[in-house]
Copies of this chain bind each other. A is one copy, B any other.
């Protein structure tokens, strides 16, 4: 964490160069998103807050969207790191490593709600530009499929079940829970007895694994979602 604040120097010379503007912009943007919706984000306001002309940020980002894309890519990389972290805790085996992954995901959302909202809310990035975002997301998902494969080998997940379906369902469930929790929709039930985020997360992970432990139903039923 290199925390070199150039603006609190002994001589606060209004220097032409900001020297670290790129990170400063990202930081300020994130700060702004803490208590404002993304659609209220203003490049000019960020620049103003940083004591810099309204066009200065454009030396580091092609557009406003590009800034958000950078934040999102960072987010996915952090998430991947968190996954790998819970893998390398060393002695963790199934089912604990599974729980650890789920916990990591939910915690990431709770600790970085603003980035998380961006990551899965965007809709900006369908166009195929922003390949960095796409790749980072793909990497994170790969952690999950590896986790499932390990679970299959260790006998906690039925081997006959489609690897991608299982992975995707886990991703879906944990993701959905995270989204609803940090979108404040969890409050609806939060006041019920014996219910809180921690307990629910554990409940979620256990039930998921339980559902996969038996390979009785194969999920090859008739089309359920087609018209």
Are A219 and B198 interface neighbours, CB within 8 A? no
User: Number of A residues whose C-beta is below 8 Å from B?
Assistant: 71
| Contacting pair B165 A200 (CB below 8 A) | yes
In the assembled complex, A207 has its CB within 8 A of some CB on chain B: yes
Report chain B residues within 8 Å CB of A141.
185, 188
A217 with B206: in contact, given A37-B123, A120-B183, A180-B168 (CB under 8 Å)?
yes
- Chain A residues 23 to 68 lying within 8 A of chain B, measured CB to CB, are 37-39
By a CB distance below 8 angstroms, the chain B residues around A195 are 162, 164-165
Q: Tell me if A223 and B199 are in contact (CB < 8 A).
A: yes
The verdict on A112 contacting chain B, using a C-beta distance below 8 Å, is: no
Name A152-173 residues within 8 Å CB distance of B: 162-165, 167-169, 171-173
Q: What are 29 pairs between A and B in contact, CB < 8 Å?
A: A37-B123, A38-B123, A99-B224, A106-B224, A106-B225, A110-B225, A162-B192, A162-B195, A165-B203, A168-B186, A169-B177, A169-B200, A169-B204, A172-B179, A173-B176, A173-B177, A176-B179, A179-B179, A197-B226, A198-B222, A198-B224, A199-B221, A199-B223, A201-B224, A203-B217, A203-B219, A203-B221, A206-B217, A207-B211
